[in-house]
Amino acid sequence: MENCLCNITTASPEETIAAGERLALRLRPGSVVALRGGLGVGKTYFTKGIARGLGVREEVTSPTYTIIAEYQGNLPFYHIDAYRLEGDEDFSSLGAEELLYGSGVSVIEWSERIPQSIPKDALIVEITLQEQNQRLITLRNMPQ
Ligand SMILES: Nc1ncnc2c1ncn2[C@@H]1O[C@H](COP(=O)(O)OP(=O)(O)OP(=O)(O)O)[C@@H](O)[C@H]1O
Ligand SMILES: [Mg+2]
């Protein structure tokens, strides 16, 4: 796959959390992680791991109507869930784009819903269902 940084297969939610924690070591102020993958593939578990790796003590959850949840770890941490957004304009109207260019770390679930809003230097993480509880997690840079 083009621009592929690595592939990992996890076999449980805990392993997906651990993968997120490892990725967090590579994140810096302003990093954006754009998650892709269908319903229930494990995006929120992966996000929990990133948050943990960034020193967020509060539990990251996925409340139905919250689009942006802000946490504080070693850095500000923004968990964005674009599932209920109509598209990029909807995202802009929340004034959320500027968060992505600030000094926090942002993780976006359903990033495919807001393609124009994803910064060019974002890290794309695609999660796909494999057999049983296995998930394939693929990291890559945005195609330039
Ligand atoms: N290897 C795995 N990694 C992550 N989750 C797994 C794994 N195996 C099974 N699961 C299950 O898959 C589900 C993943 O839920 P999660 O909320 O993280 O998905 P999601 O992609 O955020 O869903 P949504 O599209 O609703 O936002 C959980 O029920 C979890 O127990
Ligand atoms: Mg989720």
Q: Among residues of the chain, what percentage have pLDDT more than 70?
A: 97
From the list 7, 1, 2, the residue with the least C-alpha distance to 125 is: 7
Cα-to-centroid distance, 42 and ligand 2 (Å): 7
User: 50: part of which helix (H) or strand (E)?
Assistant: helix 43-53
Relative to beta strand 135-141, strand 4-10 is antiparallel
Ligand 1 mean position to 81 CA, how many Å? 14
| CB-based contact 33:122 (threshold 8 Å) | yes
pLDDT tens, residue by residue, 5-21: 789 999 999 999 999 99
Residue spans per domain, the chain:
8-114+129-137
For ligand 1, whether the C-beta of 45 sits within 6 Å is yes
Model's pTM, two decimal places?
0.96
Q: Is 88 exposed, middle or buried (0-12, 13-18, 19+ CB in 10 A)?
A: middle
Q: Which ligand gives the minimal distance to the CA of 11?
A: 1
Q: Tell me the CATH number for domain 8-114+129-137.
A: 3.40.50.300
Specify the DSSP class assigned to residue 53: H
pLDDT digit string, tens, across residues 72-98: 999 999 999 999 999 999 999 998 899
Whether 49 lines ligand 1, by a CB cut-off of 6 Å, is no
